[in-house]
Amino acid sequence: MSDYHTPVLLEESVSAIVVDPSGIYADATFGGGGHSAAILSRLSGDGRLIAFDRDADALGNKPDDSRFTLIHNNFRFIHNFLLYEGYGSGIDGILADLGVSSHQFDTPERGFSFRYDANLDMRMNTEGATTAADIINSRSEKELERIFRLYGEVENSGKTARLICTARESSPIMTTGDLEKAIDQALPQFARHKALAKVYQALRIEVNQEMRALEKFLSGAAASLRPGGRLAVITYHSLEDRMVKNFIRTGNVDGKEEKDFFGRTKAPMKAINKKPVLPSEEEISRNTRARSAKLRTAEKLPAGNREERQ
């Protein structure tokens, strides 16, 4: 399991949601199963855990445990599937680790990393229709610039998009090596890998429609939790962290507050900690991929009892 992926903020996230050992919980991003194993270790024989993952490679990590159900699908549909499983809005805790698994990064043919010269794929669900190569070779310069600017915060997104469009006129950009060669002039002499990582992040988010999936997941998770149930989300970049923070504060990812007749914010959740929990220096030394992680936790409010926020 550890070879597949090392779970981040394991103790902090699991402790935040598992309050009742006989409760019903969901791991929205199963991956290597590390968080799920920790949740199961805290449950009694009456407890239940439902996990989700759209990556077929993750299915091989399923534990042999009668209390556990693994659903091979996108976590954006969490509420639909929990309803189908008969749990409705009675979930006690939901956890989501939004990071890409080490297995995905370290498998060259998946195309998630520029460390390998491989096909530009980046699909979390390998049955998905659109790859990173499809986006690189078909989108307009304006669309590519938007993707790099919005999802990767690429400093010179316009130049990067322009270089790609120029390069693909000669031949399609199909591999990670092709892409790096195409945008070479846009990469700084120093911090080259950091700049490449931003480009890859942007492409991965677009390929997998991660922001739309996260928005759907957050609303579905809130609908699935019982009053008092808890949500824990681990984020890795500012865009998704902002969405999670906004949703907890206002009930929507845009952060637009809506007030009821009594001046209370119409938000289904309240934050447990005002500031996100960060990994310790010791954890980062063991797992450098944890360095950008942030954990936000929230509790479902009873209907008609929304807290007044300043």
- Residues annotated in a binding site for S-adenosyl-L-methionine: 33-35, 53, 75, 97, 104
**CA 240 vs CA 29, 144, 236, 245: distances in Å:** 15, 20, 7, 9
Give DSSP secondary structure letters for 155-196. Answer: TTHHHHHHHHHHHTTTS---BHHHHHHHTGGGS-SSSHHHHH
**Strands lying side by side in the sheet with 24-27:** 68-71, 48-52, 24-27, 91-97, 225-235, 294-300, 269-271
Q: Are 127 and 73 in contact (CB under 8 A)?
A: no
**CA 187 vs CA 154, 177, 281: distances in Å:** 10, 14, 30
CA distance 203 to 137: 12
Q: Which residues contact 176 (CB under 8 A, 6 or more apart)?
A: 111, 113, 114, 116, 117, 118, 119, 120
